[in-house]
């Protein structure tokens, strides 16, 4: 007993009293390990970005206008992303048009109007499951239902519908969270004035939830833009020399092109793929920046 | 601001019919139910062609065959054993978890228990950015850096194929790292600080508190994140197709090229595939396999989260 | 002015004497006003309220008179808020809430067939415990009600101004009507909520502990406001603050909660309902006396 009393005496509060050197070393080593483990992710990201730029920057700045405005070619030096870039832009707009209203509508219904019963629970569980379905399976859905069964073929319409369906669960979740964040006092205040439920939702809840909803939507769309597998499976073309005029026209997409060029052995195509990746990353950066700007500027601080 | 005129009591019976509102609510209901239609669509489209596939090709052969060699031409006379593809998928799945779990967990512990707000302010967006990189670009990174500049210098050019499962695993691992890190971190932060304080109060060091108190308490969330990440790795297509190759085979050598279920679908559609052929139907059989695998894993993950959420609420 | 008479029983302590005197001073200062013939706006007969299987309130019988301030007082958990929410059918929004008995509003059954809760709430407004202005401009907050109920005021600007004046807020905000309501202080926000309620020309204004989250200064202003408002509206107020009830209300209802035999639930019930002066100075029930003299609650 005397020994431990000795060890725990107040005068021995300095480091090393009960924690031996070995233990302290382990503690410090652990912190270092943690930091290094975390840094690996950061380094990986940095290396990835560096690799893309290292491979693609020269190709891009050598002839940026040409790169952006030329169609694909067998010669890597002449190949450009025009059709793919325009195609991606069209796809994004059309996808947004489809999935935003439906996603927000579903979210409003589930948060404000749905009764707590088995049907509602089933719908909610279903949406949660859809969020985890691999993108290639959505591609198969697009192929079987939109392209073949509904005879849309590998078109802008089929591509946008497929991407929209894929983005729907994400938007529903984001919109629901934004709606839930609106304090109940607002609803009660509106009801107490004699507003109906829909009037309350439309004029108070939804406007207040809009910044969060838009942020989530933009993030969902930015993910959709980078998706290759669904469009690949539907059969959207990589080699195409026209821009779409009609919903039923075939359309290409940037990630599809990157995939094709990456798969080619010639180093010049690798450079082209990297250059196209820079453009794609820039696009994503811009969209995320807009989303974050919206969130910071317009979110209501209750 | 006087009350409504003198003697007449204010009417409180239903005024103008608000039928318009009922229509609106019905429209909203349809929007919600559309999600069910999507699931029905997926299941239907997969089922129809899977059934068609198994009318031409044996189910047993599919589940146990070790050769995947779709027939050429009209699609007849091919071998459709999916085991090599499943093998490839599992290799990538396990390999990516081997990469992502330690790194993700370390990151989560660091962010939750050690890092200050400024560091978090830098690290969390970095993680989100990593998660947001399109998979084709990660695939490019694997092909142009991981294999030539990392794996081959370390392990030798003759051992490491140009397309190999290791590069695919690392690539997918980087993509699922944010999932494990983020969800595990949330689970750890949700551990009540009273537990930590009790341990600190007994003289435990931060390491001991993190490893012996927080991580065990957050284990259900961590497990759920791992299963979710694995599910995501199974469903991953492009990075794997680019980096790991297109050679379906039964192997455990990570330096060889392999083919996953997803890559097989991607490769097949790049070529000409006529509708109604066995090759075409095979796509949907593979899709059905993927769908079922990820569905089961997502359900298990959700069940774990649900069951253990009550512990601390 | 009638002299209030203190009722002193032999076994009351010094402290209780003082507290009683203070109440009676308050009551004395207010004096008795002549309302003229009173008309009942609400008549409650044997009202019970269940939340699911839990009996929250039982056997309530009382009337609310026109252009009077009626206060519900009592300790926590005795059903005061539950009851006031029945008067504008806000309880409908709580799943599992069931109201039995009869609540008559100007002779009509408030819970009768064909009665639309939305129409009810247009006539019977409510101000909540925690101010809940909309995250919009001051102007839009006040204009919201008239807009959604389809009022066509000659001039919305005038309607907004009149409402803000009636809520004693106009002078403070007349230059900044476009400013976001959330930027105002708590007391201002609450007065904005009152202006918002007034804008739809209600018949009755219900107030559920309107001052409990405000500082004493703001509380005082709102109490003064209530005195003016009762000229045009009928007011029902739930309050934890006995002195406030004594200060502002014409009639007071005292509630308490007692265990229901068999379930162990604490069910609210109306103990006594009378002119405020009488209730505070000569309570008929022992329980009322105990509460108003501070022996419990």
Chain A contact probe: residue of C88, C92, C125, C145 with most A CBs at under 10 A = C145
Q: Which residues have CB under 8 Å from C264's CB, separation 6+? A: none
* Averaged pLDDT of chain B: 88
Per-residue pLDDT averaged across A203-210, rounded? 95
Q: Do A185 and C128 touch (CB under 8 A)?
A: yes
Residue B40 lies in a domain: no
pLDDT at A185: 94
Q: What pLDDT does A43 receive?
A: 95
Q: Range of C139's domain?
A: 14-33+41-292
Helix (H) or strand (E) holding C191: helix C186-198
In a domain? residue B15:
no
Q: pLDDT band for position A9 (50/70/90)?
A: low
Q: What pLDDT does residue B59 have?
A: 87
Residue A212: pLDDT over 70: yes
- Beta carbons of B10 and C203 less than 8 Å apart: yes
Confidence label for C14 from pLDDT (cuts 50, 70 and 90)? low
The CATH number given to whatever domain includes residue C192 is 3.40.50.300
CA distance A223 to chain B (A): 7
Q: What is the DSSP string of B237-287?
A: -HHHHHHH-S-------TTS----HHHHHHHHHHS---TTSHHHHHHHHHH
In Å, how far is A11's CA from the nearest CA of chain B?
A: 16
Q: Is residue C241 part of a domain?
A: yes
How does pLDDT run across B262-281, given as a tens digit for each residue? 999 999 998 878 887 888 99
pLDDT at A61 over 50: yes
| Mean pLDDT confidence for B72-85 | 73
The closest CB to that of C118, out of A185, A194, A302, belongs to: A194
pLDDT band at A197 (very low <50, low <70, confident <90, very high): very high
Contact B12 C110 (CB under 8 A): yes
pLDDT tens column, B47-59: 999 999 998 888 8
Any B CB within 8 A of A165 CB: yes
Chains contacting A (3 or more CB pairs within 8 Å): B, C
Which residue of B96, B124, B131, B137 to mutate against A (max A Cβ within 10 Å)? Answer: B137
In B, minimum Cα distance to A280 occurs at: B134
Examine residue B67 and state whether it is found in any structural domain, yes or no.
Answer: no
B15–C119: do the CB atoms touch at under 8 Å? Answer: yes
What's the pLDDT at C259?
85
Residue C7 lies in a domain: no
Q: Is the pLDDT of residue C8 over 50?
A: no
Distance of CA C33 to the CA centre of its chain: 19
Q: Which stretch of DSSP H or E encloses residue B205?
A: none
Q: pLDDT: is B308 or C134 the higher one?
A: C134
Residue C259: its H or E element: strand C251-259
Query: Full-prediction pTM beyond 0.90?
Result: no
pLDDT at residue C260 in the model: 78
Q: Kind of pairing, strands C40-51 and C97-105?
A: antiparallel
C-alpha gyration radius of chain C? 20
User: E-strand spans in C88-150?
Assistant: 97-105, 108-109, 124-127
Please report whether residue B235 resides in a domain: yes
A269 pLDDT above the threshold of 90? yes
- Please tell me if residue A218 touches chain B, with a CB cutoff of 8 Å: no
Predicted confidence (pLDDT) per residue in B283-302, tens digit: 999 999 999 999 999 999 88
| Chains linked to B by 3 or more Cβ pairs within 8 Å | A, C
A196 CA to chain C: closest CA distance, Å?
A: 6
**Rounded to the nearest 10 degrees, how much is the dihedral formed by the CA atoms of C13, C14, C18, C20?**
20
Query: For the residues A25-37, what does the mean pLDDT come to?
Result: 92
**In Å, how far are C118, C119, C151, C164 from C145, measured between CA atoms?**
12, 13, 9, 14
pLDDT of residue B313: 47
From CA A198, how far away is CA A196, in angstroms rounded? 6
Residue C151 backbone phi and psi in degrees, to 5:
-70, 145
Does the distance separating the beta carbons of C232 and B13 come in below 8 Å? no
What total number of domains does chain C contain? 1
Tell me which chain C residues have a C-beta less than 8 angstroms from the C-beta of B4.
123, 201, 203
Tell me the C-alpha distance between A182 and A46, whole Å.
38
| Chain C residue with the nearest C-alpha to that of A189 | C132
Interval C1-25 mean pLDDT:
47
Of C105, C108, C114, the CB nearest to B14: C114
pLDDT 10s digits, C162-217: 999 999 999 999 999 999 999 999 999 999 999 999 999 999 999 999 999 999 99
Residue B180 belongs to what domain range? 79-312
Domain assignment present for residue C2? The answer is no
Smallest Cβ–Cβ distance between A123 and the set B33, B134, B283 belongs to B33
Flag whether pLDDT at B253 surpasses 80: yes
Rounded Cα distance between C230 and C209, Å, is: 17
% pLDDT > 90, chain C: 65
Residue C228's CB is within 10 A of a number of other CB atoms, namely 12
Q: What's residue A193's pLDDT?
A: 94
Write the DSSP symbol of residue B29: H
The mean pLDDT value for A242-264 works out to: 94
**Least confident range of B96-105, C31-40, C47-56:** C31-40
In a domain, B6, yes or no: no
Q: Residue A259 in contact with residue B242, Cβ under 8 Å?
A: yes
Residue-wise burial string across B142-174, b where 16 or more C-beta atoms lie within 10 A, e elsewhere: bbbbbbeebbbeeeeeeebbebbbbbbbbbbbb
Sign of the alpha-carbon torsion through B263, B174, A178, A118: positive
**Cβ atoms within 10 A of the Cβ of B24, count?**
19
Closest of B182, B189, B184, B181 to residue B113, by C-alpha:
B189
Which residues does chain C have within 8 Å of residue A186's beta carbon, measured at their own beta carbons? Answer: 132, 134-135
Task: Tell me the chain A residues in contact with residue C193 when contact means C-beta distances shorter than 8 Å.
Answer: 189
Rounded to whole angstroms, the Cα distance separating A300 from B15 reads 35
pLDDT in tens, B155-213: 988 889 999 999 999 999 999 999 999 999 999 999 998 989 999 998 888 899 999 99
Q: What is the CATH number of domain A68-298?
A: 1.10.3720.10
Model confidence at B4: pLDDT above 50: no
Contact A165, A140 (CB under 8 A): no
- What per-residue confidence (pLDDT) applies to C31? 53
- Residue C197: CB atoms within 10 Å: 27
Domain ranges of chain A: 15-62, 68-298
Minimal Cα–Cα distance from A131 to chain B, Å? 10
Q: For chain B, how many structural domains are there in total? A: 1
What would the pLDDT profile of A112-163 be if each residue is shown by its tens digit? 999 989 999 999 999 999 999 999 999 999 999 999 999 999 999 999 999 9
Element containing residue A207 per DSSP (H, E)? helix A206-225
Average pLDDT over residues C3-25: 48
Q: Does A194 contact C121 at a Cβ distance shorter than 8 Å?
A: yes
ipTM, interface predicted TM-score of the complex: 0.90
Q: Which residues of C touch A (CB under 8 A)?
A: 88, 90, 93, 95, 118-123, 125-126, 128, 130, 132-135, 144-145, 148-149, 182, 193, 196-197, 200
Q: Residue B2: its pLDDT value, please?
A: 35
pLDDT classification of B1: cutoffs 50, 70, 90: very low
DSSP-based three-state secondary structure for A194: coil
Nearest-Cα residue of chain B relative to residue A285 = B129
Please, which pLDDT band fits residue B69 given cuts at 50, 70 and 90?
Answer: confident
Q: Which of A4-8, A222-226, B263-267 has the lowest mean pLDDT?
A: A4-8
- C8 is a domain residue: no
Q: Does the pLDDT at position A180 exceed 90?
A: yes
CA-based end-to-end distance of chain C: 31
Instruction: Indicate if the pLDDT at residue B110 is higher than 80.
Output: yes
Query: Under an 8 A CB cutoff, do B3 and C120 touch?
Result: no
In a domain, B116, yes or no: yes
The pLDDT assigned to B266 comes to 94
Burial A227-236 (b: 16+ CB within 10 A, else e): bbbbbbbbbb
C194 vs A contacts (CB less than 8 Å): none
């Amino acid at each position: 007993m005397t020994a431990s009393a000795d060890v725990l005496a107040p005068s021995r509060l300095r480091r090393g009293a009960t924690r031996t050197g070995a233990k302290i070393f382990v503690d410090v080593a652990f912190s270092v390990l943690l930091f290094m483990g975390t840094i690996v992710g950061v380094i990986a990201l940095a290396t990835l970005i560096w690799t893309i730029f290292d491979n693609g920057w020269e190709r891009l700045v050598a002839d940026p206008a040409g790169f952006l405005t030329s169609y694909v070619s067998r010669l890597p030096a002449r190949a450009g992303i025009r059709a793919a870039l325009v195609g991606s832009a069209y796809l994004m707009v059309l996808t947004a048009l489809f999935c935003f209203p439906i996603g927000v509508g579903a979210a409003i219904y589930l948060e404000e109007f749905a009764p707590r019963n088995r049907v509602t629970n089933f719908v909610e569980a279903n949406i949660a499951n859809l969020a985890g379905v691999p993108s290639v399976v959505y591609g198969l859905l697009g192929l079987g239902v939109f392209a073949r069964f509904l005879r849309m073929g590998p078109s802008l319409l089929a591509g946008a519908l497929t991407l929209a369906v894929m983005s729907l669960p994400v938007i529903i979740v984001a919109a629901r969270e934004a709606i839930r964040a609106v304090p109940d006092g607002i609803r009660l205040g509106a009801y107490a004035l004699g507003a109906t439920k829909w009037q309350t939702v439309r004029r108070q809840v939804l406007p207040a939830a809009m910044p969060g909803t838009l942020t989530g939507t933009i993030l969902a769309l930015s993910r959709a833009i980078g998706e290759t597998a669904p469009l690949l499976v539907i059969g959207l073309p990589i080699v195409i020399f026209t821009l779409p005029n009609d919903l039923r026209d075939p359309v290409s997409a940037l990630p599809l092109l990157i995939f094709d060029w990456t798969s080619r052995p010639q180093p010049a195509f690798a450079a082209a793929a990297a250059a196209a990746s820079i453009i794609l990353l820039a696009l994503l950066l811009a969209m995320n920046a807009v989303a974050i700007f919206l969130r910071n500027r317009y979110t209501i601080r209750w | 601001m006087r009350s409504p005129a003198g003697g007449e009591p204010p009417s409180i019976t239903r005024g103008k019919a608000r039928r318009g509102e009922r229509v609106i609510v019905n429209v909203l209901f349809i929007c919600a139910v559309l999600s069910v239609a999507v699931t029905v669509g997926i299941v239907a489209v997969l089922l129809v062609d899977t059934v068609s596939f198994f009318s031409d090709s044996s189910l047993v052969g599919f589940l146990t065959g070790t050769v995947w060699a779709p027939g050429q031409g009209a699609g007849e006379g091919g071998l459709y054993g999916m085991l090599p593809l499943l093998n490839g998928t599992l290799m990538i799945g396990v390999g990516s978890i081997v990469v992502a779990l330690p790194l993700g967990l370390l990151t989560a512990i660091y962010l939750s228990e050690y890092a200050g707000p400024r560091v978090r302010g830098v690290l969390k967006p970095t993680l989100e950015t990593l998660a947001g990189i399109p998979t084709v670009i990660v695939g490019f990174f694997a092909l142009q850096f991981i294999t030539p500049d990392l794996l081959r210098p370390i392990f030798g050019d003759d051992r490491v194929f140009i397309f190999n499962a290791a590069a695919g695993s690392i690539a997918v691992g980087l993509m699922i790292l944010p999932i494990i890190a983020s969800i595990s971190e949330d689970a750890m932060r949700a551990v009540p600080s009273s537990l930590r304080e009790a341990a600190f109060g007994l003289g435990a060091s931060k390491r001991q508190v993190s490893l012996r108190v927080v991580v065990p308490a957050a284990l259900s969330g961590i497990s759920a994140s791992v299963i979710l990440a694995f599910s995501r790795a199974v469903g991953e297509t492009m990075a794997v197709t680019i980096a790991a190759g297109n050679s379906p085979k039964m192997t455990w050598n990570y330096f060889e090229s392999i083919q996953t279920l997803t890559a097989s679908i991607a490769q097949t559609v790049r070529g000409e595939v006529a509708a109604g052929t066995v090759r075409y139907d095979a796509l949907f059989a593979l899709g059905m396999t993927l769908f079922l695998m990820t569905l089961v894993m997502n359900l298990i993950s959700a069940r774990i989260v649900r069951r253990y959420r009550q512990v601390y609420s | 002015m009638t002299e209030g008479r203190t009722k002193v029983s032999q076994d009351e302590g010094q402290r209780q004497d003082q507290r009683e005197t203070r109440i009676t001073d308050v009551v004395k200062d207010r004096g008795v006003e002549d309302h003229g013939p009173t008309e009942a706006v609400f008549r409650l007969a044997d009202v019970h309220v269940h939340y699911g299987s839990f009996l929250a309130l039982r056997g309530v019988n009382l009337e609310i008179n026109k252009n009077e301030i009626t206060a519900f007082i009592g300790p926590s958990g005795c059903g005061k808020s539950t009851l006031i929410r029945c008067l504008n059918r806000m309880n409908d929004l709580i799943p599992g809430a069931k109201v039995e008995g009869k609540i008559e509003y100007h002779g009509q059954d408030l819970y009768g067939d064909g009665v639309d809760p939305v129409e009810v709430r247009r006539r019977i407004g409510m101000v909540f415990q925690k101010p809940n202005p909309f995250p919009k401009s001051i102007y839009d907050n006040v204009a919201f009600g008239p807009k959604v109920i389809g009022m066509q005021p000659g001039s919305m600007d005038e309607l907004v101004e009149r409402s803000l004046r009636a809520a004693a807020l106009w002078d403070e905000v007349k230059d900044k009507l476009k400013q976001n309501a959330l930027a105002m202080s708590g007391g201002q926000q609450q007065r904005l909520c009152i202006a918002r309620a007034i804008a739809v020309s209600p018949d009755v204004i219900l107030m559920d502990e309107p001052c409990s989250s405000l500082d004493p200064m703001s509380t005082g202003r709102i109490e003064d406001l209530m005195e003016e408002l009762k000229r045009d509206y009928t007011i029902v107020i739930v309050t934890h603050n006995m002195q406030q009830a004594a200060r502002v209300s014409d009639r007071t209802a005292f509630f308490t909660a007692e265990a229901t035999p068999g379930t162990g639930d604490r069910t609210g019930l109306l103990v006594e309902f009378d002119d405020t002066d009488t209730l505070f100075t000569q309570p008929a029930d022992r329980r009322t006396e105990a509460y108003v003299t501070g022996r419990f609650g």
